[in-house]
Amino acid sequence: MDLFEAINNRRSVRNYTETPVAKELIEKLLHAAIQAPSAMNSQPWAYAVIQDGTLLKEYSDRTKQLLLRSLDRVPWLNKYKAAFENPAFNVFYNAHSLIIIFATSSELHSNGDCCLAAQNLMLSAHSLGLGSCWIGFACPFLNLPEVKAELGIADAYNAIAPIIVGYPKLNPPISTRNAPEILFWK
């Protein structure tokens, strides 16, 4: 697949088949992620992979509870209240693979570098016929000290990009994008 084709056609997938993603494909995605540029070649990222459906469902339920408790402090979340209260809603959309990109440093550029790695991972997933979706709702939960302890993640690491990966049941339609807003061109 041509790079521009991947960029133009990749969309967030929220509906997956039951087919698990093989370890070799996950490793291929991780290899693509680490090829991302990083400031001063610092490579401030680490990865965790969860392919345990029971654990993902448990973490989804706990994430929803955390988000419901946050509604008074984070008013924009109120538009998702019904979804968070729905027992059938899974924040990981029933995907069987979650790849979490953690920033290993609090340096200024670390979060951006992890985002670059995430983009590499998501474009690579698309090129391999996989779907992906960045699950921002999961970050507050994954950054709780007790969750990091459960997963064996160092306290200093910060979950930046929780990305679900799987085989799409159907590909979302290509949506249009606005033309770039060019502030100046000198």
Instruction: List, for residues 6-46, the tens digit of each pLDDT value.
Output: 999 999 999 999 999 999 999 999 999 999 999 999 999 99
State the pLDDT at residue 175.
84
State the pLDDT at residue 171.
82
What secondary structure letter does DSSP report for 75? G
* CATH (domain of 145): 3.40.109.10
How far is C-alpha 33 from the chain's CA centre? 12
State the pLDDT at residue 14.
96
How far apart are alpha carbons 144 and 139 in whole angstroms?
Answer: 9
Q: Say which residue the tokens 């693979």 belong to.
A: 97
State the pLDDT at residue 124.
97
Is residue 124 situated within a structural domain?
A: yes
For the chain, what percent of residues have pLDDT higher than 90?
93
Is residue 147 situated within a structural domain?
A: yes
Is residue 100 situated within a structural domain?
A: yes
Is residue 39 situated within a structural domain?
A: yes
Given pLDDT bands bounded at 50, 70 and 90, which one contains residue 176? Answer: confident
Q: Is 177 exposed, middle or buried (0-12, 13-18, 19+ CB in 10 A)?
A: exposed
Given pLDDT bands bounded at 50, 70 and 90, which one contains residue 1? Answer: confident
Is residue 174 situated within a structural domain?
A: no
Is residue 87 situated within a structural domain?
A: no
Structural domain of 10: 3-52+92-166
Is residue 180 situated within a structural domain?
A: no
Q: What is the pLDDT of residues 89-138, one digit of tens each?
A: 999 999 999 999 999 999 999 999 999 999 999 999 999 999 999 999 99
Given pLDDT bands bounded at 50, 70 and 90, which one contains residue 146? Answer: very high
CB 144 within 8 A of CB 67: no
pLDDT, averaged across the chain:
96
Q: What is the pLDDT of residues 40-87, one digit of tens each?
A: 999 999 999 999 999 999 999 999 999 999 999 999 999 999 999 999
The angle, 0 to 180 degrees and rounded to 10, between the axes of the packed helices 23-33 and 110-127 is 140
pTM for this model (two decimals)? 0.95
How far apart are alpha carbons 13 and 42 in whole angstroms?
Answer: 31
Is residue 108 situated within a structural domain?
A: yes
Domain count, the chain: 1
